[in-house]
Amino acid sequence: MKNVLILGGTGFVGSHVCEKLVRAGWTVTVATRRRSNARNVMHLPSLTIQELDVHDEAALGRIAHGQDAVVNLVAILHGTQAAFDKVHVELPQKIANVCSRAEVGRLVHVSALGATTQNPGSLPSMYLRSKSMGEVVLLAGCSQLALTVLRPSVIFGQGDQFLNVFASLQKLFPFMPLAGAGARFQPVWVEDVATAVVKALERGGSGVQTLEACGPEVFTLKQLVELSANLAGINRGHGRPVFAIPRWAGDLQARMMELMPGAPLMSRDNLASMEVPNVATPGKPGLSALGIQAAALRPIAADYLTQGASWHALLGVRRGGQRKT
């Protein structure tokens, strides 16, 4: 029986990871800022919830003691430069420090497709730059342990705040003015990402492994918005008219959303991230390196979107962008 500490284990991906790890026989500790955030995993056997400030390095060190492995899934989608740096750069640095001190053997870090350790400063968004810098500090600080960095494209699955949100918006509104309509994505199923985390923890060997996690198909954002409505049966499956708006109008739309209370549906930084194609890089290893054949989107999304899009998906985003299954 092996011990693993999960940071961000209460989130959309984290809850799937926890379930798979428990099933695979791991003893799991989930660190959370608030115990009540862990409602979706606290029922799992051989899983302990620890409420703590994960940014407190001393507390993190205490909880990392005796762990064989750590998984980091903590991230934010919106915020100031300082917030992105704290969560995506300083936290990975602290994780690297405590893993070395506690002699943790393995670390799996979930980053994002589009991140790069080569010239991160050239990237167009705070999100991508900070995700990239997080990888840079881990590469420098984790020479003593086996490190896997996973870079997923946008993740779909039951309870996602991606296809569910597009479908819900079309249920509410008669048309969709869409910024970044031509941006390309290669969506990956949450179960495949969670399986990748487990397989990365169980792989033999040492050193650094960076893998892109993408599904088998590339879609534009407009295609995904239209598909979500088709699958959810909005307007008898025809969806709503989706029309592309220019970048300046998208920035204006995003600025207005940022001014509303709660996490914005779309921020200017999100729009900037979409300037980088969110698709697999030719020649870079992907999920198949872990023996995973990525699932196609349509049949899975059809299954959960037909259960009915509702305004609750939007409420989840406005509450703070936290994705829950």
Ligand X SMILES: NC(=O)c1ccc[n+]([C@@H]2O[C@H](COP(=O)([O-])OP(=O)(O)OC[C@H]3O[C@@H](n4cnc5c(N)ncnc54)[C@H](OP(=O)(O)O)[C@@H]3O)[C@@H](O)[C@H]2O)c1
| Site residues, ligand X (CB under 6 A) | 8, 10-14, 32-33, 37, 54, 73-76, 87, 110, 112, 152, 154-155, 162, 322-323
Give the shortest CB-256-to-ligand X separation in angstroms: 23
Please say which residue, 238 or 284, places its beta carbon nearer to ligand X: 284
Please say which residue, 10 or 170, places its beta carbon nearer to ligand X: 10
φ, ψ for residue 100, nearest 5 deg: -65, -45
Give the shortest CB-175-to-ligand X separation in angstroms: 25
Please say which residue, 18 or 176, places its beta carbon nearer to ligand X: 18
Please say which residue, 74 or 169, places its beta carbon nearer to ligand X: 74
Of 135, 150, 147, nearest to 193 by C-alpha is: 150
Of 70, 63, 69, nearest to 49 by C-alpha is: 63
DSSP three-state, residue 167: helix
SS3 percent helix, strand, coil of the chain, rounded to 5, is 40, 15, 40
Give the shortest CB-62-to-ligand X separation in angstroms: 17
Report the 10 Å Cβ neighbour count for 86: 15
What Cα–Cα distance (Å) separates residue 193 from each residue in 14, 25, 110, 268? 10, 18, 9, 27
Give the shortest CB-14-to-ligand X separation in angstroms: 5
Please say which residue, 11 or 141, places its beta carbon nearer to ligand X: 11
Give the shortest CB-168-to-ligand X separation in angstroms: 16
* Residue nearest to ligand X as judged by C-beta position: 11
DSSP 180-235: TTT-EE--EEHHHHHHHHHHHHH----SEEEEEE--S--EEHHHHHHHHHHHHTTT
Query: 165 — alpha (psi -120 to 50), left (phi > 0) or beta?
Result: alpha
Please say which residue, 60 or 176, places its beta carbon nearer to ligand X: 60
Please say which residue, 238 or 319, places its beta carbon nearer to ligand X: 319
Give the shortest CB-239-to-ligand X separation in angstroms: 21
Length of the chain: 325
4 neighbors 66 (Cβ within 8 angstroms): no
Strand 69-72 to strand 3-7: parallel, antiparallel, or no bridges (unpaired)? Answer: parallel
In whole angstroms, give the CA distance from residue 241 to residue 50: 47
Give the shortest CB-81-to-ligand X separation in angstroms: 14
